Structure 1
Amino acid sequence: MSVSPLSPAPNEARNAVIAGVVCYLMWGFIPLAFQQMAAHGATPWEILAHRAVWGVPMAILLVAMARQWDKVIATLRDKRTMGWLVLSSLFIAVNWITYISAVNSGRALETSLGYYLNPLLNMAAGAWLFKERLSGPGKIAVVLAGIGVVIQAIALGHMPWVSLILATSFATYGIIRKRITADAQTGLLVECLVLSLPGLAFVIWGMTHGQSHFLNSPATTAWLLFAGPLTVVPLALFAWAARRMPLSTMGFLQYLAPTIVFVIGTLQGEPLGLIRIISFGFIWAAVTVFVIGAVRTSRRKPHAPIVSEPEPGLVEPADEGASVDRPR
């Protein structure tokens, strides 16, 4: 039996699901790693700096494996593309520092809400900025999510700024990346390089002024070094899986990470009163409507390589036909 080139072989499809699950599991449990770094004295800004610095060697390895140095050089010489990548790097840095600060200060539930909102915000932004047609389920999902945010504000006593900053910074990042042609590995390396410059300066400043925790103990050093692979590996897995996975599958998997973070926040004792539960109820209802609409769309276009991205991330699938939302 022949296999269509647009349909991955059974083994490849299974491996794509495994890769997708692993990357979302890593994104889901990443708060525990950041909390361990904080337990060893590292501040959010220090964690961010090491995440940027040690992400570079891993990103270089990916480019070397893909043999894409010619694309990297071409991108570095293109002033317009570099300008956009610098801007996208700034937005992902905002996303990262907000996320790290929140999970290390007992606000994991707010980060969970942010990543539940992200795909819905992307959909709304597409309709507003790119005149994309918003489907019936899409409109219902956006309204339900809006109600959920308002109720969350009532529960907290203020707007859920952490959630909104995470969702909007990530959505803006995705919009910027849609405007440039840099492929997955190239864009990842360039963005890591851009962020590593201030990151390295911060690390050196901390070490020379007695503010660094990097060499305090073998455990602290290991955790901060781990920040690099922890950033790049799930992004690489996502980029590979996204090219081989239909929207109907990825649409479900992308909510695995915020669900895990929600459970982590709850188990760690973050307050979850009745009003807040109702708020998440509206968000989950919006997510359900969104996923059902996505599944119906994918069934009408069974071979379309359309996927939705995750966390807090830097990479986009190498398949130029894919539409993506990136995670943390």
Structure 2
Amino acid sequence: MNVPLTDQADADARARAGLLFGLAAYGLWGVMPIYFKLLKAVPSIDIVAHRIVWSLVVLVFLATMAKAWGQIGAAVRSRKTLPILFVTSVLIGTNWLLYVYAINSGHILAGSLGYYLNPLANILLGRFILKERLTRLQWAAVAIAAAGIAVLAAGALGTLWISLTLCFSFATYGLLRKIVHVESLAGLAIETALLFPIALGWLLLGGSEGRPMFGLGGQETALLISAGVVSTVPLLCFTAAARRLAYSTVGMLQFIAPTLQFLLAVAIYDEPFTWAHGIAFGCIWTALALYLGAMIRDRRASQQRECDEMAEA
């Protein structure tokens, strides 16, 4: 009799933790353009190389503190896990490079559109690959969000390749990280280690413009070194959220990051906010309200059914 209650309590605690991790990840990603704009003078590929090198330093420290080396060793020895992590390392490296390029080439809105497309991709992957069920109201939310994004896409054909590549790379990354049997810290450490030799070699050879490995000193050096923390923390939060929440729910939470990026682009970096953006915002946040409302309603109905069944027993 007590087992269902215990299982439900564990599931609820896991879902709450996943929600907090998700909010932290997308909130941090939402304000990340501020950080990369401070490094505008550094070529994008050099910034990403520093992200990889310093991320590995941070991850080695975290893995030691968390005593995660056993998990890392088991994942490396697994014939199923390591090939998937190789693919995810390529996906996240591509995503990082294109995201930094979008920000520092004046295309924050194009990058934001990619992350607006991403939740829809997550929801559809969750439905058709992971067989997660959606109610009619949730399908309606998806359709409304898609309509808003279509309005944005129609006015951004010239940079749509940026948006689509960001969407595809990160949606696929999240899906693979959800299904692979490795904890977030161990998986990210392996991914970063796979990219590390290429990144370090690039920097030792002088990067794309023969720049000093640690930047030109002062603020630039400090920002490049801090790239490890800036890159690692939100990604760890994301992978922790993806393992605890339905993938479709992760998809809806992701609207937080591009919304913050839109606000930064318009309010701070003077990118134009058009009527298409206004329509898209209205559609997307209406969809978010519908989706979350349906999710809360279904959870309450499920809990009520369990209570009724226990009372009858």
TM-score (norm. length: structure 2): 0.80
For residues 105 and 139 of structure 1, do their structure 2 counterparts lie closer, same or farther at Cα, with a shift above 3 Å needed? same
SS state at 1:264 partner:
helix
Post-superposition Cα deviations, 1:224-254, rounded to whole Å, max 9, x if no partner, equal 111101011233455667889999x988864
Q: Which residue does 1:98 correspond to in 2?
A: 98
In the alignment, does 2:182 pair up with 1:174? Answer: no
Name the structure 1 match of 2:223.
223
**Residue of structure 2 equivalent to 1:287:** 288
What amino acid is aligned across from residue 289 of structure 2 in structure 1? T
C-alpha contact (below 8 Å) 1:98/1:162 kept by paired residues: yes
Question: Residue type of the partner of 1:163?
Answer: S
Contact 1:120 1:290 in 2 (8 A): no
Alignment counterpart, residue 31 of structure 2, candidates 29, 32, 37: 29
User: Secondary structure, in 3 states, of the residue corresponding to 2:97?
Assistant: helix
Q: Residue deviations 1:102-150, cap 9 Å, x none?
A: 1112222222233233222211122233444332123222322332233
Q: 1:55 matched to which residue of 2?
A: 55
The range that moved more, 234-243 or 192-201, is 234-243
Identity %: 35
Query: Secondary structure, in 3 states, of the residue corresponding to 2:38?
Result: helix
Distance change (3 Å), C-alpha of 1:208 and 1:133? closer
Aligned to 2:65: 65
Q: Which structure 2 residues correspond to residues 197-212 of structure 1 after superposition, within 5 A?
A: 197-206=197-206, 210-212=210-212
Deviation at 1:158, TM superposition (A): 4.4
Q: What does 1:152-301 align with in structure 2 at a 5 Å threshold?
A: 152-158=152-158, 160-206=160-206, 210-212=210-212, 214-237=214-237, 254-267=254-267, 268-300=269-301
- Structure number having the greater helix percentage: 2
What letter matches 1:81 in structure 2? T
CA contact (8 A) 1:123 1:138 kept: no
- Whether the 8 Å contact between 2:118 and 2:251 is mirrored in structure 1 is no
1:83 maps to a residue whose letter is P
Q: Deviations over 1:265-313 (max 9, x none)?
A: 11111122213322333233333322223333343456xxxxxxxxxxx
> 3-state DSSP class of the match of 1:75?
helix
**Offset at residue 167 of structure 1 (A):** 1.9
1:207 positional shift: 5.7
Q: Which amino acid is 2:35 matched to? A: A
- Conservation of the 8 A alpha-carbon contact between 1:117 and 1:145: no
Q: How many residue pairs end up in the alignment? A: 298
**Cα distance, 1:17 vs. partner?**
7.6
Whole-angstrom CA distance in 1 between matches of 2:236 and 2:7: 22
Amino acid in the other structure paired with 1:52: I
Bigger mean CA offset, 77-86 vs 290-299? 290-299
* C-alpha distance 295-127 of structure 1, shift in aligned 2 (>3 A): same
Query: Matches of 1:172 and 1:239 in 2, distance apart?
Result: 13
Mapping of residues 73-112 of structure 1, within 5 Å = 73-112=73-112
8 Å CA contact 1:19–1:241 kept in 2: the answer is: yes
**Match for 2:228: what amino acid?**
G
Q: Identify unmatched segments of 5+ residues in structure 1.
A: 303-328
The aligned counterpart of 1:309 is none
Mapping for residues 36-47 of structure 1, pairs under 5 Å:
36-38=38-40, 41-47=41-47
Distance 1:222 1:298, change over 3 A: farther
Structure 1 length as normaliser, TM-score?
0.77
Q: Deviations over 1:43-75 (max 9, x none)?
A: 111111110110012111222122121121121
> What are the ranges of 5 or more consecutive residues in structure 2 without an aligned counterpart?
304-313
Tell me which of the two structures has the higher relative contact order, counting C-alpha pairs closer than 8 angstroms and 6 or more residues apart.
2
1-side partners of 2:227 and 2:148: how far apart? 33
What SS class does the counterpart of residue 79 from structure 1 fall into?
A: coil
CA distance in 2, matches of 1:20, 1:131: 21
290 and 205 in structure 1: CA distance in 2 versus 1, 3 angstrom threshold: farther
1:118 equivalenced with 2:118 (yes/no): yes
Counterpart CA distance in 1 for 2:132 and 2:21 is 30
